[in-house]
Amino acid sequence: MSFPKDFLWGGAVAANQSEGAYNVDGKGLSSADMLPAAKHGVARTATDKIEKDLFYPYQEAIDFYHHYKEDIKLFAEMGFKSFRTSINWTRIFPTGMEETPNEAGLQFYEDLFSECKKYNIEPIVTLSHYDTPYYLVEHYNGWAGRELVDLFAKYSETVFSRYKNLVKYWLTFNEINCMGILPYVAGGVKHSNKQIQAQAAHHQFVASAKAVKIGHEINPDFQIGMMLADLLTYPYSCNPNDVLESLHKTHDYYFYSDVQCRGYYPSYQLKKYEKENIKIVMEPEDEKILLEGKVDFLALSYYMSITAAADKTVGEVADGGNLMDRGLKNPYLESNDWGWQIDPVGLRISLNYLYDRYQIPLMIVENGLGAYDKIEEDGSIQDDYRINYLTQHITEMEKAINEDGVDLIAYTPWGCIDIVSAGTGEMEKRYGFIYVDRNNIGEGTLKRMKKKSFDWYKNVIQNNGL
């Protein structure tokens, strides 16, 4: 069992779920700052203004903004070769509309990426991870507005130029196919329906393609990827109608990677829009931009799989957390405490499907087990369940590489240090190798502690996956 020599082992977080410091050093309000906490089984909602009596967990999160040196040192101790995070657009352009960028924000990320480089950790940077300047949400209904295309291009150009010697790997939009699943999330859209979502997706496709072109002009060595939430959907049975249903569900998310990897809208989606009477407003140059701005690689998140049945009365709906649309339970799989079905072989299947389809390098930039962790009397955290989950997934990755020939180049498990959950806003849904002392209502010292998985992952990296 071996992984490629330069395999990018690492970990991942996102700015909005980790940094906190939401109103520090000139940062503007982002859509993420307007999301109060919810909990398992209770959908997240957004508020129009910050309400005094509500708790907004992202506003302080784990205060990575002030702890990043300590945290990166711990990542380096584990031997990380890469670290995925995102840039918070509102640190650079507080409303999204400014003529000149906010120097304090630019400096923060310069310091952060330099700190990574100090330890030979390669930053993998997402330009937009579930946050949009709130000003743009209010004034343009987020990505429903065409205006955001050029505002995003300007933001991209600013950060590409500033970090052209610090960052090589970029992702444009996190989980672009989760458009509209949580309030304001991928699309930053406040008022939504199918037509608006489709238009917002189009704007993100064009913005992403423009960013790819701009990035390659600034530094031809840049590798710029798209990011897909992999929603592996099996047929509920071998009834051909279930197989067809699972194909349709699969098209719902492959549509996004098809556009970004192939550079044009797939025929099945054009037919679907026609049937649903959805009309996309396109500028004359859009088709050319999409074709010229194809991505260099595909990054995916993978947590679970679901099943789909044609007959809407059969099966039991899986508790899909933040991602799934009426996926059914699979009797062969177990679930975590949030109902996410654990399926390591599904990861191998997904990697094969994606690589067969696009033949470009793949990165797994999110994977992991959200779980409740307990601090023992001796202060240790025995997270064998997490080690077990990750071992099984790494084992399947290795088979995908060595038995199936998939070109997989990176693995950055999600929430390598505990952060706030996107789906629920809980802090106690933990993924990390590093525990952060903070609870669901914002209490705690923010102290960092190594879990048992810390040394385990260090060993995995040291032995290149052995």
The catalytic site residues sit at 175, 366
Residue 417 CA to residue 450 CA, distance in Å, equals 9
Output the smallest distance, CB 317 to ligand BG6, in A: 18
Output the smallest distance, CB 301 to ligand BG6, in A: 5
Q: How many CB atoms lie within 10 A of CB 318?
A: 21
> Look-up: residue for tokens 């009397």?
377
Question: What are the phi and psi torsion angles at 354 (to 5°)?
Answer: -70, -40
> Nearer Cβ to ligand BG6, position 229 or 328?
229
List residues binding ligand BG6 (CB under 6 A). Answer: 14, 17, 130, 174-175, 229, 301, 321-323, 366, 370, 414, 421-424, 429
Question: What are the phi and psi torsion angles at 82 (to 5°)?
Answer: -150, 160
> Nearer Cβ to ligand BG6, position 257 or 301?
301
Minimal CB distance to ligand BG6: which residue? 423
> Nearer Cβ to ligand BG6, position 229 or 408?
229
> Nearer Cβ to ligand BG6, position 93 or 414?
414
Residue 195 CA to residue 125 CA, distance in Å, equals 30
Output the smallest distance, CB 146 to ligand BG6, in A: 25
> Nearer Cβ to ligand BG6, position 102 or 301?
301
> Nearer Cβ to ligand BG6, position 214 or 229?
229
Angle between helices 64-78 and 103-118 (to 10 degrees): 20
Output the smallest distance, CB 224 to ligand BG6, in A: 18
Output the smallest distance, CB 421 to ligand BG6, in A: 3
Output the smallest distance, CB 44 to ligand BG6, in A: 9
